[in-house]
Amino acid sequence: NHLDETRINILRINFILSQKLYLNKNRFTIIKKNFLPEHNFITDLNLNQNLISFIEDKSFKCTNNIVYFDLSSNKLRNLTSNTFIGLFRLTDLNLSFNMIEKITGNLFKENMELINLNLSNNLIKAIENNSFLSLNKLRRLFMDNNYPFSNLLIQNGNIFNGLKSLK
């Protein structure tokens, strides 16, 4: 399903049979809790180049089939430890070109299958302890073009715990 360049502001979808859902280049601003219906078949979700600034906690709780998720080029600033709850099979997550300032502890706690994580071109100034703890399978972590790494606030020096597979 391609719904590129529609003009919807708040995203909530009631019925989907497709495996790939492309909603890029729209004007979505908010992702509501359970915005996709239960028992959907979506494996690839593309929401890049929208105006998304807020994701309600547990918005993806019923979307446990998603493997590829692109949220790049939005206006995301704050992500909580409940933002990505339910994305158990997620292997690729693109959060580049947002305004993320802080990576909270346990942000990716349910994303244990994650292999590629792109956090480049944000405003990351702080990374909390255990932010990447559950990401044992992560092979690629992109964090280029953020706040100068030398000024990065690292709490307790354990931010990269769990990253055993990085290449």
Distance CA 111, CA 138 (A): 10
Q: Hey, which of 70-74, 99-103, 134-138, 163-167 has the most confident mean pLDDT?
A: 70-74
pTM of the model: 0.85
Q: Which amino acid is at 84?
A: F
pLDDT beyond 80 at 157:
no
Give the residue among 94, 54, 97, 56 at the shortest CA–CA distance from 78.
Answer: 54
Contact 122, 100 (CB under 8 A): yes
Radius of gyration of the chain (CA): 15
145: which 2 tokens?
């073009």
